[in-house]
Amino acid sequence: MRHLSFKTQSANEKIVKREWHVVDATNQTLGRMSSRIASVLRGKNKAYFTPHFDCGDYVIVINSSKVVLTGNKLEDKEYQTYSMYPGGQKIEMAKEMQSRRPNLMIERAVKGMLPKNRLGRAMYKKLFVYEGAEHPHKAQAPKELK
């Protein structure tokens, strides 16, 4: 009896079909939504997912200002930045961040869930976050991501 061997196909530019997805952040929990977006950016929803190749899709997030934080996170969560100068540390609470720069909350949450290397930086470039319901990517005909 002969043994049949099937070679596993590794993803490359010829195989990968990149799609566009749109996510409405209205009344969605920040962490749960971000982990789903990070998974799609990475390409884990594809059958041909390869860890060392960027096979993810493009993701557009609309209504970023309407994202929800559970528990007391709106009052307790801190976003820290540091300029590398003495006394250059700035702390901003989640409530202020949501009113001032709501896109940054989603961007930072998703970026923290991606790989910390040049592959992760390439995946992050496929994320587009908008405060309102409009986005300039109508020509790509994005599908709604559940």
Does residue 7 have a pLDDT over 90? no
Q: In this structure, is residue 5 part of a structural domain?
A: no
Q: Say if strands 20-24 and 143-144 run parallel, antiparallel, or are unpaired.
A: parallel
Q: In this structure, is residue 64 part of a structural domain?
A: yes
Number of domains in the chain: 1
Does residue 54 have a pLDDT over 70? yes
Q: Categorize the per-residue pLDDT at 42 as very low, low, confident or very high, splitting at 50, 70 and 90.
A: very high
CATH number of the domain to which 25 belongs:
3.90.1180.10
pLDDT tens digits, 70-92: 999 999 999 999 999 999 999 99
Does residue 46 have a pLDDT over 80? yes
The DSSP secondary structure of 45-89, one letter per residue, reads TSTT--TTS--PPEEEEE-GGG-B--TTHHHH-EEEEE-SSTT-E
Q: What is the mean pLDDT of residues 116-123?
A: 96
Domain membership of residue 92 as a residue range: 20-133
Q: What is the mean pLDDT of residues 127-138?
A: 94
Does residue 2 have a pLDDT over 70? no
Q: What is the mean pLDDT of residues 14-19?
A: 91
Query: Are residues 134 and 21 in contact, defined by beta-carbon separation less than 8 angstroms?
Result: no
Q: In this structure, is residue 6 part of a structural domain?
A: no
